[in-house]
A and B are shown apart, each in its own frame.
Chain A
Amino acid sequence: MLLFEKRENVSTKLKVAIPLISVFLGLVAGGIAILFTRTNPLIVYQALVKGAFSSVYTFSETLVVAIPLILISAGLIVAFKMNFWNIGAYGQYIMGAIFGSFFALNMPATMSRPLLLAIMCLAGILGGALWGLIPAALKAFWEVNEVISTLLLNYIALYILKYLMYGPWRNPASHGFPLSKPFELNAQLPRLLMRTRVHLGLVFGIIAVIIIYILITKTKFGYEIRVIGENKRAARYGGINITKNIFIAMAISGGLAGLAGLAQLSGVIHMLQIEINPGYGYTAIIVAWLASLNPIIAMFVSVVFGGLETGGYQIQMAIRVPFGIVGTIESAVLFFLLGGEILKRYRIRFRRNTS
């Protein structure tokens, strides 16, 4: 039988090894799934890496996907630190995109670009934050389970987007396709590198990571959410205002997801449509967890996962391996990571069954 012996402290080596081994085993599990389709997984993975990291352009595409992951995971870390399960980044991302688009579509094309972009970013943050504050309020006042409320709000946000795209916001010139008018130049985030789609959102992401890192490690707020996350009762006895902290944390978490949605539209897609990749909201959960809720590590993990997604699109197009393999690998990584975390807490020994 298995015996668990409590560890007193965790070595850094183990902290680094567990996520790395999890990623490796996740890829092995994905490889086994690929084998069942009578395809050589090594060829698939080779194509995947090539599609994500082999040239300046493919790497720039990886960064383009990493941008929303960096922003969203930084926000999720704040919520997860206090054990608030925000599964709603998907919906908050959509609401940020919708709020920001409102200004992109309705302000004159002659408006100053920095001014319009600033308004759009604020609107994006506001949209995401408002959508995040709904489950926050329900949790704080009535203890409504936030996993369920944030998830249902994802679907509600998706249908609001669909309603707008098939209805009032559809471009009359789109021949019936659910697309908005294209954004004018003054509503487009500037590109950072020539001939790539890497946009200013990357800078937002890096700034957000630095701010969140300082916030959670150096401030009273960071201390309080950690205490709430570890022991809610102790936090309450210690005089920590839980309601206030839930609101602040979810405004940050939702706001960054909203900014990610807006940045994706304004920096990459340049119009509002139904497919705006809100699924990054789920991928970012894995990123945050894999980074042990450290925003700086999450930034690098985002690049790895950006590569996985970019490479996933490439192999779908180049060698017709369905994109579902990406979700399979991501979830397998997460399973191994969760399973591996026990090694941080316990030393595991085998013993012949005696009981």
Chain B
Amino acid sequence: MKLTATTILITLLATTVRSGTILLFPTIGEIFTERTGILNLGIEGMMVIGAFFGFVVAYITKNPYLGFIIGTLAGGAAALIHAFISITLRGNQVVSGLALTIFGLGITSFYGQRWINNKLPESIPTVVVPGLSKIPFIGSIFFRQDYIVYFSYILVLALWFILYKTKPGIHLRASGQNARAADAMGVNVNATRYFWTFFGGLMAGAGGAYLTIAYATFWLEGITAGRGWIAVALVIFAMWNPINALIGAYLFGGISALQFQLQASGTTMPSSLLSMQPYLLTFIIIIIATLIVRARHLGAPKELGTPYSREEK
């Protein structure tokens, strides 16, 4: 293959999709959690748990898909701690989420130390989609990926459909907008919140597992490096809409892909300043997104972070 500008661009954009997928899962999960009224700031912790368990299982069984599934489930299990504290015990959701992050980073560093020098024998295989991959340009970017990326495409569409076109979607949105009214409608608010908080954890675990299994193929203490927090920011950027989450995640995937490309090509810009870019850009974009959300009165789910109980007014 000739190394033309187009092929370089295609490689970069294909990497963008993979790098964006790491953020896409947790962002979309948190959108659903927050839509029900639960704020889970523990994404970073759940992601790193998913990353660790995903890596270990993939390494031992030599099966990346099994690793992905276990990593996903591990993230979901971690989310249940947050669900129990914030839904059943009505504890402070901000602090509980932070505790979850500290917990995830601590426990994986504790168990993960002896796994640091291991590397997966190979990354997850690329699967070319017959037909679609032949579409010029687009095909090479989106349809020469792995099964998990294809799974994420279907998931985004399915979740968009569930959120806006189905009864469970109405219920979960109602739980976050006005829990009392939802309750009166016959929605089990707390069960809804439990389910989607668990789902958010699954997705964070999936993002973390994808990071170690397909992207990095090794384990390192704190390997998520703030991606969980970027996902929290992307939820606002996406204005709680799964389709926007796709755009946001790929945008940031693109920034990291570009930053690695630049670092590899040996630019004169110091690497620490390059590595700062994703955080700096998230910071700027979150300001802009907040202003847009305010101007258009979109806003967060009205009862985000507020526990619900029937007895209390």
Among residues of A, the one whose C-beta sits closest to the C-beta of B280 is A156
Within 8 A of A (CB), among B112-142: 112-113
Instruction: Count A interface residues, CB 8 Å.
Output: 49
Interface string of A322-355 (1 = CB under 8 A from B): 1111111111101100110110010000000000
Judge if A82 is at the interface, Cβ distance under 8 Å: no
Could you show 8 A-B contacts with beta carbons less than 8 Å apart?
A147-B94, A147-B232, A152-B226, A159-B279, A167-B270, A324-B109, A331-B99, A334-B98
CB nearest neighbor in B for A165:
B272
Q: B91 to A156, Cβ gap below 8 A?
A: no
Known contacts A87-B98, A142-B287, A335-B85; is A324 also within 8 Å of B279 by CB? no
Q: Do A331 and B89 touch across chains, with their CB atoms under 8 A apart?
A: no
Quick one: given A152-B283, A338-B96, are A166 and B270 in contact (CB under 8 Å)?
A: yes
B233 pairs with A37, CB closer than 8 A: no
Question: A144 within 8 Å of B by Cβ?
Answer: yes
10 tightest A-B CB contacts, nearest first: A327-B106, A324-B109, A324-B110, A331-B103, A159-B276, A338-B91, A162-B272, A334-B99, A328-B106, A155-B279
Which one of A52-60, A94-102, A265-273, A282-290 is at the B interface?
A: A282-290
**B276 near A36: Cβ-Cβ < 8 Å:** no
CA of A85 to CA of B290 in the docked complex: distance in angstroms? 17
A2 to chain B, nearest CB (A): 7
In the assembly, what is the distance between CA of A324 and CA of B290, in Å?
Answer: 36
Kindly state whether residue A149 has any CB partner on chain B within 8 Å: yes
User: What is the CB-to-nearest-CB distance from A256 to chain B, in angstroms, rounded to a whole number?
Assistant: 19
Asked whether A153 is an interface residue with its Cβ less than 8 Å from the other chain, the reply is yes
Contacts A155-B226, A159-B273, A334-B102; is A33 near B107 (CB within 8 Å)?
A: yes
Q: Which listed residue (B108, B271, B276, B309) contacts A155, Cβ 8 A?
A: B276
Residues of A within 8 A of B102 (CB): 282, 286, 327, 330-331, 334
Q: Residue A160 at the B interface, CB < 8 A?
A: yes
- A241 interface hit (Cβ, 8 Å): no
Q: Chain B at the A interface: mostly helix, strand, loop or mixed?
A: helix
Closest A residue, CB atoms, query B278 = A155
In the complex, what distance in Å separates the CA atom of A242 from the CA atom of B233?
Answer: 24
A149-B106 Cα distance, complex, nearest whole Å: 23
- Judged by a CB distance under 8 angstroms, whether B229 is at the interface is yes
B282 at the interface (CB under 8 A from A): yes
Does B236 sit within 8 A of A, measured CB to CB?
yes
Name the A residues within 8 Å of B148 (CB-CB): none
Q: Mark B45-87, 1 if CB is under 8 A from A, else 0.
A: 0000000000000000000000000000000000001001100
Interface contact A166-B283, CB-CB below 8 Å: no
Does the CB pair A85–B91 fall under 8 Å? no
The interface residues of chain A, by DSSP majority, are classed as helix
Question: Which residue on A lies nearest to B294, using beta carbons?
Answer: A143
A-B contact count (CB 8 A): 147
B108, A143: Cβ atoms closer than 8 Å? no
User: Number of residues in B with C-beta < 8 Å to the partner?
Assistant: 51
How far is the CB of B276 from the nearest CB of chain A, in Å? 4
- Residues on B with C-beta less than 8 A from A210 are none
> Given A335-B96, A338-B89, does the pair A142, B290 have CB atoms closer than 8 Å?
yes
A319 CB to closest chain B CB (Å) equals: 13
**A285:B279 contact, CB within 8 angstroms:** no
Q: Is B7 an interface residue when CB atoms closer than 8 A count as contact?
A: no
Nearest chain B CB to A341's CB is how many angstroms away?
Answer: 6
**Is A35 an interface residue when CB atoms closer than 8 A count as contact?**
no
Question: Which partner residue on chain B sits nearest A320 by CB separation?
Answer: B113
Q: Is B179 an interface residue (CB 8 A)?
A: no
The answer to whether A339 touches B229, judged by C-beta atoms less than 8 angstroms apart, is no
- B178 within 8 A of partner (CB): no
Tell me which of A87, A163, A345 contacts B272 (CB under 8 A).
A163
A153 to B287, CA, bound (A): 13
Let me know if B100 is at the binding interface, CB within 8 A.
Answer: yes
Contacts of B229 in A (CB 8 A): 148, 151-152, 155
Q: Could you mark each residue 277-301 of chain A with 1 if its beta carbon is under 8 Å from any beta carbon of chain B, else 0?
A: 0000010011001000000000000
Q: At the interface, yes or no: A177 with Cβ under 8 Å from chain B?
A: no
Q: Does B261 contact A (CB under 8 A)?
A: no
Once the chains bind, are B276 and A328 in contact (CB under 8 Å)? no
Given A152-B286, A338-B85, answer yes or no on A324-B112 (Cβ-Cβ < 8 Å). yes
Q: Chain B residues near A153: list those with CB within 8 A.
A: 283
Is A203 among interface residues, defined by CB-CB distance under 8 A?
no
Contacts of B109 in A (CB 8 A): 322-324, 327
Which listed residue, A6, A37, A160, A330, touches B111 by the CB 8 Å rule? A37
A322 to B109, CA, bound (A): 7
Partner of B90, one of A326, A327, A342: A342
Question: Nearest chain B CB to A329's CB is how many angstroms away?
Answer: 8
Structural contact, A322 and B232, CB atoms closer than 8 A: no
Q: Name the A residues within 8 Å of B41 (CB-CB).
A: 147
Instruction: Tell whether B152 is near chain A: CB-to-CB under 8 Å.
Output: no
Q: Which residues of A contact B11 (CB under 8 A)?
A: none
The interface residues of chain B lying within 8 Å CB-to-CB of A162 are: 272, 275
A147-B41, A155-B276 known; A327 and B105 CB under 8 Å? yes
CA distance A167 to B271 in the complex (A): 10
Residue contact A148 to B233, C-beta cutoff 8 Å: yes
Neighbouring A residues of B233 by C-beta, 8 Å = 148, 152
